């Protein structure tokens, strides 16, 4: 997907929560399309989710499905569903933390699921519930959002739309590891929000499929490095 590299903003002041208007006609059409596509994908995905859940239960202690509070459109908090890929209660002593490459908290089976993005499949239920979209900014936890909105310019502007299972930032950038990486990802999120269209979202979905099957090089190019 050969789109221009978004401009990366400089840090100047804390962002303010967005004032989100009621969904437009275009957004209602997008929500309807999300519902239909999520329902269609969920039919073949259900056996995969069930198989992953059984595998998780057989290989580690704790529940197979994992729920977590995330911040959605307009700053509203919702419950996100995932297949558990880390050891149960792994953040009990540390509190919320970003996942890192080779994270020791991930189980052996969980690492494989994360690599194949199978742990994300239950989020199709979030799409059916109207809390998420197939494409949009990645939702973050309230505890982390509270800190990021104080140090990253425009961070809350990404909450002007529904969060997504995949998105423009997700296909181009690695998971967040520090404020610097968040600043770069916010620039991509705001670029998507400004220029989003049916064509762009279709390209993001196609790029996501290529990424999952290991063909990221077809569309990928190195992101612009954020400035301090």
- At residue 26, the pLDDT reads 86
Report the helix count and the strand count for the chain, using DSSP H and E: 7, 4
At 61, list the tokens.
Answer: 């202690």
At 198, list the tokens.
Answer: 């049916």
Report the percent of the chain where pLDDT is more than 70: 86
* Phi/psi of residue 98, nearest 5 degrees: -70, 150
Domain locations along the chain: 25-218
Q: Are strands 164-166 and 133-135 parallel, antiparallel or unpaired?
A: parallel
What mean pLDDT is reported for the chain? Answer: 86
pLDDT for residue 118 is more than 70: yes
pLDDT in tens, 51-109: 999 999 999 999 999 899 999 999 999 999 999 998 888 776 667 777 767 778 889 99
- Based on the number of CB atoms within 10 Å of its own CB, is 89 exposed (0-12), middle (13-18) or buried (19 or more)? exposed
- At residue 80, the pLDDT reads 97
User: Are the beta carbons of 175 and 98 closer than 8 angstroms?
Assistant: yes
- At residue 205, the pLDDT reads 94
Q: Which residue has the higher pLDDT, 39 or 22?
A: 39
Burial 104-124 (b: 16+ CB within 10 A, else e): eebbebbeebbeeebbbbbbb
3 state SS of 225: coil
Largest Cα–Cα distance of the chain, in whole Å? 50
Give the lowest-confidence range in 98-112, 116-130, 139-153: 98-112
Q: How many CB atoms lie within 10 A of CB 158?
A: 28
- At residue 10, the pLDDT reads 46
User: Are the beta carbons of 110 and 84 closer than 8 angstroms?
Assistant: yes
């Amino acid at each position: 997907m050969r789109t221009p590299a978004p401009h990366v903003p400089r840090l100047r002041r804390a962002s303010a929560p967005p004032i989100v208007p009621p969904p437009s006609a275009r957004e209602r059409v997008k929500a309807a399309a999300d519902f239909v596509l999520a329902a269609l994908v969920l039919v073949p995905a259900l056996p995969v989710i069930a198989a992953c859940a059984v595998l998780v239960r057989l290989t580690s202690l704790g529940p197979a499905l994992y729920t977590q509070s995330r911040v959605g459109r307009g700053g509203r908090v919702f419950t996100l569903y995932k297949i558990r890929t880390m050891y149960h209660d792994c953040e009990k002593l540390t509190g919320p933390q970003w996942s890192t490459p080779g994270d020791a908290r991930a189980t052996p089976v969980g690492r494989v699921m994360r690599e194949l993005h199978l742990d994300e499949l239950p989020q199709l239920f979030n799409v059916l519930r109207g809390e998420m979209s197939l494409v949009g900014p990645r939702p973050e936890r309230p505890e982390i959002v509270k800190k990021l909105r104080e140090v990253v310019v425009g961070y809350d502007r990404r909450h002007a739309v529904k969060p997504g299972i995949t998105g423009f930032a997700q296909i181009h950038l690695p998971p967040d590891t520090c404020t610097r990486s968040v600043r770069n990802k916010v620039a991509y999120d705001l670029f998507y929000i400004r220029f989003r269209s049916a064509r762009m979202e279709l390209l993001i979905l196609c790029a996501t499929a290529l990424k999952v099957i290991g063909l990221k090089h077809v569309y990928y190019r190195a992101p612009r490095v954020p400035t301090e």
